[in-house]
Amino acid sequence: MVFDAPPAMSTAHAWMPSSPCGPGCLDSIDGVGPARVAARLAGVAGLLLSFPFANAVTPRGKRVPLQRRYAHLLLGCLGMRLRIVDNRVVVNERGVVDEGDAALTPAGFGTAGHGVLVVTGHIGWTDIVALASVQPLGFVARADMVDWPLIGKLAKLMRVIPIERESLRQLPGVVAAVGARLAAGERIGVFPEGTTWCGRAYGTMRSALFQAAVDTGTPVQPVRLRYLDRHGVPCTVPAFVGADTFASSARRVLRSRGMVAEVVLEPVLDPGADRRELARRCEAVVRGTAVSRRGAVEATEWIEAGHTRVQDPSLAVDAPEVRRPLRRPMLLGRRSSAAAR
């Protein structure tokens, strides 16, 4: 029997995060031939099959570099290069660390033995591989991921904290599990949007998972993650959106040519005492120069769509000389469920 993951987007209740992104968001990209795709797939399978043995025979103190190396190799087998931009400390005159500059690789998401909550937007399943290539960490991810072919084995090895998006009742337990892991000095990655987006449009960062950092006094590492094509232009090929399945998404990624996964490490934030305020701060940092819903409208206009914001397709991104009248952002209605924030 052939298994495939459920569609990327499904809604079970009114407060479940959903994304309007779909097939129309996906870019075309330069592709590789069938032979290269087969070689990449064989490389992925080889890494996933050999990792448990390599991890078991490696001394515990040396497993983190091994895990990072495996994730890095896996990213390469998917046809992507890794680029790290460290905005916390300038490591060279450009502030950029490419995969060839091993000596310049930053410390990662935090110091060993000290917990840190890593926060970023969610584009697709390759996000986990890209972040693990910087430094191994655990993740809060959809519960059925452990049943996926290939990537499910990686999820188990990374000790994924499962979350049933369809069940609000399980959310407090997930927050408690994240808090316990943070208190134990672990690095945990979360995607507070609650679902995947194409990488151009994005959703609101819900505040629930931030409570784990507030409760434990754990610092928060905001990360800006994006994917670039061979010309350095942001692209949506790795997005896992709409009715996409794991098989179709994997085929699209494996056929791509010259893609770069860019991970931007922003200054670490103190958790403070208010999870909603922490979520707003993280969202502002992760979006970079994008418009803040609660701030002034800048160079980009956005369309409000319920609890989400989608870029207006009528505006050309690369047309700085065109001046258009600014629209007044619509105000979102007050939410009645704190657990969904």
Residue 14 has pLDDT above 90, yes or no: no
In this prediction, residues 81-99 reach a mean pLDDT of 67
Q: Against a cut of 0.85, is the pTM above it? A: no
Nearest residue to 126 (alpha-carbon basis) of 277, 259, 217: 259
The C-alpha angle 132, 108, 131, rounded to 5 degrees, equals: 25
Q: What is the 3-state secondary structure (H, E, C) of the chain?
A: CCCCCCCCCCCCCCCCCCCCCCHHHCCCCCECCHHHHHHHHHHHHHHHHHHHHHHHHCCHHHHHHHHHHHHHHHHHHCCEEEEEEECCCCCCCCCEEECCCHHHCCCCCCCCCCCEEEECCCCCCHHHHHHHHHCCCEEEEEHHHHHCCCHHHHHHHCCCEEECCCCHHHHHHHHHHHHHHHHCCCEEEECCCCCCCCCCCEECCCCCCHHHHHHHCCCEEEEEEEEECCCCCECCCCCCCCCCCHHHHHHHHHHECCEEEEEEECCCECCCCCHHHHHHHHHHHHCCCCCCCCCCCCCCCEEEECCEEEECCCCCCCCCCCCCCCCCCCCCCCCCCHHHC
**Residue that has been written with the tokens 């986990």 in this structure:** 128
Query: What pLDDT is attached to residue 190?
Result: 93
Residue 323 has pLDDT above 50, yes or no: no
Confidence of residue 107 (pLDDT cuts 50, 70, 90): low
Residue 309 has pLDDT above 50, yes or no: no
Kindly report the number of other CB atoms within 10 A of residue 325's CB atom.
5
Residue 45 has pLDDT above 80, yes or no: yes
Query: What pLDDT is attached to residue 259?
Result: 93
Portion of the chain with pLDDT greater than 90, in percent: 39
Poorest-pLDDT segment among 62-66, 72-76, 152-156, 269-273: 152-156
